Amino acid sequence: MCFKELEEYFKDHCGIFGIYCPDGKLDVAKITYFGLYALQHRGQESSGIAVNDAGNIIYHKDNGLVNEVFNEVVLNHLKGYSAVGHVRYSTTGKSDRENAQPLVIKYRKGHMALAHNGNLVNAHIIREKLEQEGAIFQTTIDSEVIASLISRNRIKSENIEGAILKTMDEIKGAYSLLILTPNKLIAVRDPYGLRPLVMGKINNSICFASETCALDTIGAEYIRDVEPGEIISVSRNGIKSIKYENGTKHLCVFEFIYFARADSYLEGISVYEIRKRLGKQLCKESYVDCDIVIGVPDSGTTAAIGFAEEAGIPFSEGFIKNRYIGRTFIKPEQTQREIAVKIKLNVLKSNVAGKKVVLIDDSIVRGTTSRKIIKMLRDAGATEVHLRISSPPVVFPCYYGIDTPDRKELIAANYSTEEIARILGADSLEYLSLNGLNEVFDGRIHQFCTACFSGEYVTEIPENFNKYILEEGV
């Protein structure tokens, strides 16, 4: 089997941020801008902000990083007392400008702006049904399916919250939503809590974000996580919580392993501490006698520190990461593929030359980048390279908002660990076990989604889902 020369790592899904300031004393657009800046790691393709200006929703969005899409002139135009923002990496729908969020729509009973993190597994079924009934869609994203259902259900509902409850009866999959109406800011989390969403407070304003690092950035106090299956409505009348149902926690475990920023807390748990414990557990299961431990920046670094502490082997920097790569750059010709990796990472030769190295990374998807990184270490003079992965083998695709390839492209689904080590050019390869992952979470791994490791999905996956994804051009 020949694996494609494609991006190796999982792509982050999306980040959302919202704030409601009843007295209008805060510049909600600028606060949202800084909140999105803190969430930039979750999406680098597009960004947008919508603001409620005295009942009118005004917005600006485009392809690009937050600092590319917004400037002082644009932000000064976005005046109001509540706002929602979004940074996007496309998992469903093409990376086109019209797919940038928040989505702003007008309908019979009003208008709203919607920002969505996650992925529906039945969006194509609902969309086809709505199109047969005459609905017209402007984008190729499942978020518009959610917005369309809410607008339709609003006609027969007493209020917007009732329309959301009816919509939750119809949609299946992962969704954390922020919805801005002319008089409310509403946060919604799916019944499994697959995607994170936290609630905070700054002065007398309420805010929501995908991660606590965004709250820290704007100086907000963390209140709590939005519960699975919960709708929180914020208005001048106060805060109202509605439970769709008593959800069961199944937050994506890869939020801890890779996606979330290390300084964030999810479900009250420190991402940094979990990654460090992953490294320690990995060492307990697959110790190897080497000279130094290095991590693949950035998500592998904390696990490498944990591995080094447990092993009693020095932790050392093995790579310098270029932190000035934007959304796009001129890609090298076919004959210059190695440049693509070296643009992002360069080896510290003085640290690895003549040494036996333990290389820690968070996961292996296709293996293409891992192979190049190991070759770079050998070219720099490393005498041995032992690869250790701080998660179990990824053998099943994700359908809940993470861009994983088809199973035939997942290297761990097609080769044994020993075969993968040979393919990558490593002296040895070991993964963290599922039991070890459970140990790191104190026996509570059942409270997280681990479908990419186990194939045990929390929802039913339609048979033609992969066909739909391909047609949408992800």
Residues in a beta bridge with 321:
345
Distance (Å, whole) CA 423 – CA 416: 10
Map tokens 């861009």 to a residue.
403
Strand stretches in 302-447, DSSP E: 319-321, 345-347, 356-361, 384-389, 428-431
Distance of alpha carbon 283 from alpha carbon 266, whole angstroms: 24
Please state, as a whole number, how many other Cβ atoms lie within 10 Å of the Cβ of residue 338.
Answer: 13
Question: Is 398 a known ligand-binding residue?
Answer: yes
452 assigned binding-site residue: yes
Handedness of CA 451, 456, 459, 461 (dihedral sign): positive
Q: Tell me which DSSP letter residue 227 carries.
A: P
CA 127 to chain centre: 24
C-alpha neighbours within 13 Å on the C-beta side of residue 108: 10
207 flagged as catalytic: no
The phi-psi region of residue 269 (left if phi > 0; otherwise alpha if psi is between -120 and 50; otherwise beta) is beta
Closest among 424, 450, 421 to 437, alpha carbons compared: 450
Burial of 435 (0-12, 13-18, 19+ CB in 10 A): exposed
Catalytic position from the list 2, 14, 21, 207: 14
The reply to whether 416 sits in an annotated binding site is no
CA 57 to chain centroid: 27
| 473 token code pair | 């051009």
Q: What own/partner pairs with CB < 8 Å and gap ≥ 24 does 441-448 have?
A: 441/274, 445/253, 447/248, 447/249, 447/250, 447/251, 448/249, 448/250, 448/251, 448/252, 448/253
**Which residues, 6 or more positions from 128, have their beta carbon under 8 angstroms from its beta carbon?**
none
* Contact between 182 and 110 (Cβ < 8 Å): yes
User: Is residue 263 part of an annotated ligand binding site?
Assistant: no
CA angle, residues 267, 272, 277, in degrees to nearest 5: 95
The pair of three-digit structure tokens given for residue 159, joined into one six-digit string: 């209020």
Instruction: Check whether 299 is labelled as a binding-site residue.
Output: yes
- The residue whose two tokens read 């033609």 is 464
Round to whole Å and give the CA distance between 20 and 236. 9
Residues 161, 167, 169: CA angle, nearest 5 degrees: 115
Q: Can you say which residues are annotated as belonging to the binding site for Mg(2+)?
A: 299, 361-362
Q: Can you say which residues are annotated as belonging to the binding site?
A: 252, 299, 361-362, 398, 449, 452
Catalytic positions: 14
Q: Can you say which residues are annotated as belonging to the binding site for [4Fe-4S] cluster?
A: 252, 398, 449, 452
